[in-house]
Amino acid sequence: MKKVLAFALIAVSLLAGCGEKKVEAPKLAFQSTDLTGASFAKDFALTDHTGKPRTMADFKGKVVVMFFGYTQCPDVCPTTMAELTEVLKQLGPQADQVQVLFVTVDPERDTQELLAQYVPAFDKRFIGLYGTPEQTAAVGKEFKVIYTKVPGSSKDNYTVDHSAASYVFDKQGKLRLLLRNGQGVAPAVHDIKLLLG
């Protein structure tokens, strides 16, 4: 009787192991903040600095790094853009599989012409994106980006306080990472290489 019971228990445990198992992809060891599976930052509808309408689908097949800033930003924006330039340099030939997007949070002043001068000055492959104030607000909400105008000495002389991190999307356009401001170039290079496979 004990043998029958033991056999029954083994059979049940083996059958339990035969059920459908969800095979998960191995978890990548990112150095940046892992946002895999996040329910925000799905898509956008903006215009690039050449006047072409753009959505996330345009960049399928590339790892996308998206930064929100503005051309008259005195500190974090030029620093971040310079770091992203260095990231692409360190990626070497793989850099052609990466697209950096600069989304302005100052649609009133950042015209297509201004973005066309500012953004490619860091790297000719970088793309500047802009929209109407309403489009910018919608994208800001979708991407959980905080920005607010800080009045200056005149109506046109103001700064914009804004979120300072960059988002990284995989080749399928899925949000994967948050590159924190000030984390440096090395973690971004490491993590982008992992996403490039």
Is 16 within the bounds of a domain?
A: no
Mean pLDDT for all residues in the chain: 88
Q: What is the pLDDT of residue 152?
A: 87
Average pLDDT over residues 134-158: 92
Q: What is the pLDDT of residue 68?
A: 97
Confidence of residue 18 (pLDDT cuts 50, 70, 90): very low
Contact 195/63 with Cβ under 8 angstroms?
A: yes
Give the burial class of 77: count Cβ atoms within 10 A of its Cβ; 0-12 exposed, 13-18 middle, 19 or more buried: buried
pLDDT at 147 over 90: yes
Is 97 within the bounds of a domain?
A: yes
Is 6 within the bounds of a domain?
A: no
pLDDT tens-digit readout, 61-89: 999 999 999 999 989 999 999 999 999 99
Q: Which residues make up each annotated binding site?
A: 73, 77, 162
Is 24 within the bounds of a domain?
A: no
What are the contacts of 118-124 at 24+ separation with CB within 8 A?
118/71, 119/49, 119/81, 120/49, 122/81, 122/82, 122/84, 122/85, 123/84, 123/85, 123/88
Q: What is the pLDDT of residue 6?
A: 41
Q: What is the pLDDT of residue 85?
A: 98
Domain count for the chain, please give it. 1
Q: What is the CATH number of the domain that holds 192?
A: 3.40.30.10
pLDDT tens-digit readout, 98-143: 999 999 999 999 999 999 999 999 999 999 999 999 999 999 999 9
Q: Which residues make up each annotated binding site for Cu cation?
A: 73, 77, 162
Is 19 within the bounds of a domain?
A: no
Confidence of residue 177 (pLDDT cuts 50, 70, 90): very high
Structural domain span for residue 163:
33-196
Confidence of residue 91 (pLDDT cuts 50, 70, 90): very high
Is 168 within the bounds of a domain?
A: yes
Q: How is residue 92 written in tokens? A: 């070497």
